[in-house]
Amino acid sequence: MKAPCFREWFAALPALNQPQRLQVLDALRPAAGLHEVLALIEQCRSPGRRCPHCRCERWNRHGHANDLQRYRCFSCRRTFNDLTGTPLARLRLKGKWLDYLETLRASRPVRAAADEVKVHRNTAFRWRHRFLDRVKEDRPARLSGIAEADEMFILESQKGSRKLDRPARKRGGTASRRGISRELDCILVARDRSRQTVDTVTGRGPVSKVQLERHLLPFLDRDVLLVTDANAAYRAFARAHGIAHQAVNASAGERLRLGPQGPIHVQNVNAYHGRLREWLMPFHGVASRYLPNYLGWRRMLDGGNITSADQLFRLAVGPIHSRR
């Protein structure tokens, strides 16, 4: 639009009635959202930008494509943009990303998020797991002091799969066997008294010493006191690695006892289990293959560290190009 036409149009804005103003704001929202997203991408990527193909730090600008600045590497001569190599590569409708991230912060189901952002429900589902791909890796480096650990189990689900390796269950169904079996996904949650949380899907069935070594050991501080229930796998794990360990025998009615470092219980981690189960209910079943994404999503919300869509976007992009 030429400048005189723009000035004439801009001067007429005060004459618009309320519905017309809302219509103009809705029309301008994607453009404003696109500008904000492009500015965030530039802020995240400009420090330490490097070629995602060969890690070379020398590049030159090479035009624009899909609203993004392209670059050409001096070494391998391949082109890239600031989203190449990230989970957000090749996603469209960038102007709606921040609005969608607000629906993630509000834990909206797929259809509700799609209606709110005005995209197809398949797009909303795809965006959900692209944006959460890096969020699930955002864990604390170490658990220190008194760290509680316990497992929770949910029914294994192949929701959305074209082929099942078992007979189909109607509306979720229930396990065919009582107790802890291979029909249940095991979610290990460890949480210290400063509310630092580590969670992971260890597999199906009861947790083992080998799984604890793989999923829990890297996050435990050397001087940590590990508090668990009476599961023998924890006792063998702690003994093998010289970790201070206290067990609470809940089956014998023991809930809490006093120790030299403070109260010995697993109530914090069990409370987290309860919040996680309640939070999962509106989704009406989560496919097992996507369960790590939902765990990261819930951990992000429970920590309260993500207070805006901008912060979530920075976490979703991740420092791919600057990693060594």
Nearest to 82 by CA among 91, 142, 13, 159: 91
Tell me which residue has tokens 């609470």: 248
Radius of gyration for the alpha carbons in the chain, expressed in angstroms and rounded: 25
| 3-state SS, residue 229 | strand
Q: How many residues does the chain have?
A: 324
User: Which long-range contacts (C-beta less than 8 Å, at least 24 apart) are formed by 29-35?
Assistant: 29/95, 29/99, 30/93, 30/95, 30/96, 31/95, 32/95, 33/94, 33/95, 33/96, 33/97, 33/98, 33/99, 34/67, 34/94, 34/95
Separation of alpha carbons 10 and 8, rounded Å:
6
Residue-wise pLDDT tens digits, 97-133: 999 999 999 999 999 999 999 999 999 999 999 999 9
CA atoms within 13 A on the CB side of 159: 16
Query: Sorting pLDDT into bands at 50, 70 and 90, what band is 31?
Result: low
Average the pLDDT over 55-65 and give the result.
90
Both tokens of 159, joined, read: 């929701």
Question: What are the extents of the domains in the chain?
Answer: 23-86, 91-131, 140-160+179-301
Task: Confirm if 288 and 158 have CB atoms less than 8 A apart.
Answer: yes
Average the pLDDT over 130-146 and give the result.
90
Confidence (pLDDT) at 323? 39
Helices (H), 132-228: 209-215
Confidence (pLDDT) at 13? 73
Tell me which residue has tokens 């989970």: 87
Confidence (pLDDT) at 321? 37
Tell me which residue has tokens 């080998």: 210
Residue-wise pLDDT tens digits, 199-253: 999 999 999 999 999 999 999 998 999 999 999 999 999 999 999 999 988 777 7
- Rounded to two decimals, the pTM is 0.84
Asked if residue 36 has pLDDT above 70, the reply is: yes
Q: Provide φ and ψ at 152, rounded to 5°.
A: -130, 155
